[in-house]
A and B are shown apart, each in its own frame.
Chain A
Amino acid sequence: MTVQQSEFDAGAFAKSQIDEIAQRLGSERAIIAISGGVDSTTCAALAFKAVGKNLLCIFIDTGFMRLDEPRKVKALLSKRPLALPIRIVRAQERFIEAIGRNEDAEEKRKAFRETFYKTFSETAKKEDCHFLIQGTIAPDWIETKGGIKTQHNVLEQIGISPQEKYGFTIIEPIANLYKDQVRTLARYLDIPREISERQPFPGPGLLVRCVGRIEPSKLKTLKQSTQIVEKHLATTGGQQFFAAVLDNQIEDRPMKELLQKQVSESLKIQGREVEVNILQNKATGVKGDVRVYGRIASVSISKKHREVYGWLIEKLRELQSKLTSRNPEFTRILYTIKQGKESAPYDVAIRAVETRDFMTADIVAVPWAILTEIAKEILKKCSNVAHVYYDLTSKPPATIEFE
Chain B
Amino acid sequence: MRNDDRSVALLKPVVPVVNVKGQYNHLIVRMLTELGAESSLVPLSVSISELEEIGFNGLVAGGGPQSVYEKNSRRELSNLERLLKENSKPLLCICVSHQLLAEALGGRTGPAKEPEYGRITVHVDEEDEILRGTGPSFMAWASHNDEVVRMPEGFERLALSQSCEVEAMRSRSRPIYGVQFHPEVWHTTKGRTIFRNFVEVVERNATSGR
CA of A360 to CA of B34, assembled, Å: 19
Q: Closest approach, in angstroms, between the C-beta of A322 and any C-beta of chain B?
A: 8
Q: Does B199 contact A (CB under 8 A)?
A: yes
CB pair B27 A3 closer than 8 Å: no
CB pair B64 A321 closer than 8 Å: no
CB pair A321 B119 closer than 8 Å: yes
CB pair B119 A146 closer than 8 Å: no
For A148, what are the chain B residues with a Cβ–Cβ distance below 8 Å?
A: 23
Q: Which residue of A lies closest to B4 (CB)?
A: A12
Contacts A3-B199, A142-B26, A146-B22 given; does A325 touch B1 at CB 8 Å: no
CB pair A360 B186 closer than 8 Å: yes
Q: Which of A13, A360, A397 contacts B1 (CB 8 A)?
A: A13
* Residues of B within 8 A of A (CB-CB), count: 41
For B33, what are the chain A residues with a Cβ–Cβ distance below 8 Å?
A: 6
CB pair A4 B36 closer than 8 Å: yes
Q: Does B47 contact A (CB under 8 A)?
A: no
CB pair B34 A287 closer than 8 Å: no
CB pair B11 A1 closer than 8 Å: yes
Q: Does A16 contact B (CB under 8 A)?
A: yes
CB pair A142 B23 closer than 8 Å: yes
CB pair A288 B115 closer than 8 Å: yes
Q: Which of A1, A138, A288, A325 contacts B26 (CB 8 A)?
A: A138
CB pair A362 B163 closer than 8 Å: no
CB pair A289 B23 closer than 8 Å: yes
CA of A362 to CA of B96, assembled, Å: 23
CA of A143 to CA of B27, assembled, Å: 13
CB pair A290 B65 closer than 8 Å: yes
For A394, what are the chain B residues with a Cβ–Cβ distance below 8 Å?
A: 117-119
CB pair B36 A287 closer than 8 Å: no
Q: Does A103 contact B (CB under 8 A)?
A: no
Interface footprint category on A: 35 or more
Contacts A146-B22, A362-B119 given; does A12 touch B36 at CB 8 Å: no
Q: Closest approach, in angstroms, between the C-beta of B64 and any C-beta of chain A?
A: 6
CB pair B187 A362 closer than 8 Å: yes
CB pair A359 B35 closer than 8 Å: no
Q: Closest approach, in angstroms, between the C-beta of B71 and any C-beta of chain A?
A: 17
Those of B110-155 within 8 Å (CB) of chain A = 114-119, 141, 143-146
CA of A286 to CA of B30, assembled, Å: 22
Q: Does B173 contact A (CB under 8 A)?
A: no
Encode contact with B along A263-295: 1 for CB under 8 Å, 0 otherwise: 000000000000000000000001111100000
Identify the B interface with A (CB < 8 A): 1-2, 11, 13, 21-24, 26-27, 30, 33-36, 63-65, 95-96, 114-119, 141, 143-146, 163, 182, 185-187, 196, 199-200, 203, 207
Task: Provide 29 A-B residue pairs closer than 8 Å at the C-beta atoms, listed in order of the A residue.
Answer: A1-B203, A1-B207, A3-B35, A3-B200, A6-B34, A6-B36, A7-B34, A146-B21, A287-B115, A288-B143, A289-B22, A289-B63, A289-B65, A289-B143, A290-B145, A324-B118, A325-B163, A328-B115, A359-B27, A359-B186, A360-B118, A360-B141, A360-B185, A362-B119, A394-B117, A395-B118, A396-B143, A397-B118, A397-B143
Identify the A interface with B (CB < 8 A): 1, 3-9, 12-13, 16, 138, 142-143, 146-148, 176, 178, 286-290, 317, 321, 324-326, 328, 355-357, 359-362, 393-397
